[in-house]
């Protein structure tokens, strides 16, 4: 295999962030759409974590963390300066925001989304905990325009797929929530050509399939 391959799942926010960076970099990648309950054996051979996304580079390097796939793609090409223009304070803020997103925010998002599995608290409790992150993001959007700068950068694209998931847990609530800048930021993303281009539907890939679908 000399082609770079991405094992992906369309709706997974981690896979979405990886596909966004791959698409903006225009690196040529073969997309293998996975069914999470029936993962292809080759995916499990490449990464025992058994999560998506997983990228296999042409030289057979396995990258099985979505944020690392973003860095890898942007190192190939960063035409909109998602990384390139940032100063060290912005890099640091970016890292903090992504850590909070993937840690505390994601935990509360899962509990909010699947509240029936976490009966210790009502759903509103989990939403309120997650809202601490929304308050912070709203403040940053007011201050900077985007999360860490006056233009889109890595942090926006790494975090937006999770805010999308949060918003759609209870869209009616989200639409009336007091985060106007966050809502516009999300809407612009959802309506973007970039987002549409990485949300196309592909049939699940199966071992031995010789149909090759390219992300870019
Ligand atoms: N830290 C990983 C997390 C990836 C992850 O948890 N992906 C989920 C799907 S959104 C997954 O594959 N879960 C395994 C499963 O559902 O079987 C990353 O950033 O890539």
More confident residue, 3 or 7: 7
Query: Atom 1 in ligand 1: which residue has the minimum CA distance?
Result: 65
pLDDT in the model for residue 88: 95
178 within domain boundaries = yes
What value does the mean pLDDT of the chain take?
96
User: In angstroms, rounded to a whole number, what is the distance separating the alpha carbons of residues 185 and 149?
Assistant: 13
Same domain, 143 and 108: yes
Q: What are the pLDDT digits (tens) for 52-87?
A: 999 999 999 999 999 999 999 999 999 999 998 899
97 within domain boundaries = yes
Same domain, 100 and 184: yes
SS3 letters across the chain = CCCEEEEECCCCHHHHHHHHHHHHHCCCEEEEECCHHHCCHHHHHHCCCCCCCEEECCCCCEECCHHHHHHHHHHHCCCCCCCCCCCHHHHHHHHHHHHHHHHHHHHHHHHHHCHHHCCCCCHHHHHHHHHHHHHHHHHHHHHHCCCCCCCCCHHHHHHHHHHHHHHHHCHHHHHCCCCHHHHHHHHHHHCCHHHHHHCCCCCCCCCCCCCCCECC
32 within domain boundaries = yes
Q: What are the pLDDT digits (tens) for 134-147?
A: 999 999 999 999 99
pLDDT band at 1 (very low <50, low <70, confident <90, very high): low
Same domain, 96 and 179: yes
Comparing 85-89, 127-131, 159-163, 170-174, the range with the smallest average pLDDT is 85-89
Same domain, 97 and 177: yes
**pTM beyond 0.95, yes or no:** yes
Same domain, 69 and 101: no
Which atom of ligand 1 lies nearest, measured to the CA of 50? 14
pLDDT in the model for residue 2: 75
Residue 210 has pLDDT above 90, yes or no: no
Same domain, 154 and 111: yes
Query: Atom 11 in ligand 1: which residue has the minimum CA distance?
Result: 51
Same domain, 92 and 75: no
Query: Atom 6 in ligand 1: which residue has the minimum CA distance?
Result: 51
Residue 65 domain boundaries = 4-79
pLDDT > 90 in the chain, percent:
93
Pocket perturbation via mutation, ligand 1, pick of 8, 47, 51 by most ligand atoms within 8 A of CB: 51
pLDDT in the model for residue 85: 85
Q: What is the CA radius of gyration of the chain?
A: 18
Q: What are phi and psi of 136, to 5 degrees?
A: -65, -45
Query: Atom 5 in ligand 1: which residue has the minimum CA distance?
Result: 51
Average pLDDT score over residue span 153-182: 98
pLDDT in the model for residue 215: 78
* Among 6, 8, 20, 9, residue whose Cα is nearest residue 192: 20
197 within domain boundaries = no
Measured from CB, residues less than 6 Å from any atom of ligand 1 are 9, 12, 14, 36, 51-53, 65-67
| Encoded tokens for 37 | 């309950």
Q: What are the pLDDT digits (tens) for 116-135?
A: 999 999 999 999 999 999 99
50 within domain boundaries = yes
More confident residue, 201 or 213: 201
Residue 216 has pLDDT above 80, yes or no: no
Burial of 38 (0-12, 13-18, 19+ CB in 10 A): exposed
Residue 213 has pLDDT above 80, yes or no: no
User: In angstroms, rounded to a whole number, what is the distance separating the alpha carbons of residues 19 and 29?
Assistant: 10
Number of domains in the chain: 2
User: Tell me, what CATH number does 37's domain have?
Assistant: 3.40.30.10
Query: Atom 14 in ligand 1: which residue has the minimum CA distance?
Result: 51
- How does strand 29-33 pair with strand 54-56? unpaired
Q: What are the pLDDT digits (tens) for 20-56?
A: 999 999 999 999 999 999 999 999 999 999 999 999 9
């Amino acid at each position: 295999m000399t082609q770079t391959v991405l094992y992906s799942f369309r709706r997974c926010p981690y896979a979405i962030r990886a596909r966004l960076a791959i698409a903006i970099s225009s690196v040529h990648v073969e997309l293998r759409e996975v069914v999470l309950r029936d993962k292809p054996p080759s995916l499990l051979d490449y990464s025992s974590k058994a999560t998506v996304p997983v990228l296999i580079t042409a030289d057979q390097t396995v990258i099985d963390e979505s944020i690392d796939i973003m860095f890898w793609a942007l190192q190939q090409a960063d035409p909109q300066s998602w990384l390139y223009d940032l100063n060290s304070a912005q890099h640091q803020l970016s890292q903090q925001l992504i850590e909070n997103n993937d840690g505390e925010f994601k935990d509360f998002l899962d509990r909010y989304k699947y509240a029936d599995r976490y009966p210790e608290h009502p759903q509103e409790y989990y939403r309120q905990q997650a809202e601490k992150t929304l308050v912070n993001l709203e403040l940053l959007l007011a201050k900077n325009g985007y999360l860490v700068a006056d233009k889109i950068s890595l942090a926006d694209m790494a975090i937006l797929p999770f805010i999308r998931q949060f918003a759609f847990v209870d869209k009616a609530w989200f639409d009336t929530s007091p985060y106007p800048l966050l809502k516009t930021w999300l809407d612009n993303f959802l309506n973007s050509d970039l987002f549409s281009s990485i949300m196309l539907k592909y049939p699940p890939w199966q071992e031995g399939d010789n149909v090759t679908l390219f992300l870019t």
